[in-house]
Amino acid sequence: MTGPKNVVEAKDWAEFKREWRETFAEHAQQANIAYSFSEADVKPSGEEGTILAVEVADYRIVGIGARIFFGVMTGNAFIEAKVKAVSLRDGATFGEQQYSTTSSAWGGVFAKVTPQQVDSIATNIFKDFAAK
C-alpha cells in the first residue's frame, strides 16, 4: 500500500493499513488463496502469483463506535484507491480498478463505516479472482 505523502503520513495510516491487512487476510483464507501483506515493494520473482499494488489517494476512517456515539456529527467515511493486479512472475500489469467508497453521515448509526468499506472492496477483488 502506498499513497501521496499526506496520506502515508496521516496519524491513522497504520490503523488503516491494519484494517486492509486483516480484512484481505480473512477473504484470502475464505477463498483458500495464499496471502501475505508486504510493507515493502514486491518485485517479480519468477513464481506464480499476483501482486495487488494498492495506491490510496485519500481516505477518512470512521469507526462503528464513533458512528454510534456521534451519528451524523461523525461525518463521512470514504476511500479513494486504485488497485493494480501485477504478475509476480514477470511484473506485467494485467488489471487495474479504481475504488471509490463513501458513507453518508445522514445514515446515522447504519451508515457504512471504514471497516465495511474495506470489506466491500475486498469482496469485489476476491470475486474477480474467483471468476478467473
For each of the domains in the chain, give its residue range(s) and CATH number, in order of start: 5-130 (3.30.160)
Interior CA angle at 45 toward 120 and 34, to 5°? 40
Quick one: pLDDT at residue 108?
A: 43
User: What's the pLDDT at 132?
Assistant: 56
**Contacting residues for 26 by C-beta, under 8 A, at least 6 apart:** 122
Residue of 78 and 92 predicted with greater confidence? 92
Dihedrals phi, psi of 79, to nearest 5 degrees: -140, 130
φ/ψ of residue 83, rounded to 5: -120, 125
**Whole-number Å distance between alpha carbons of 26 and 126:** 11
- Is 26 a residue whose pLDDT tops 70? yes
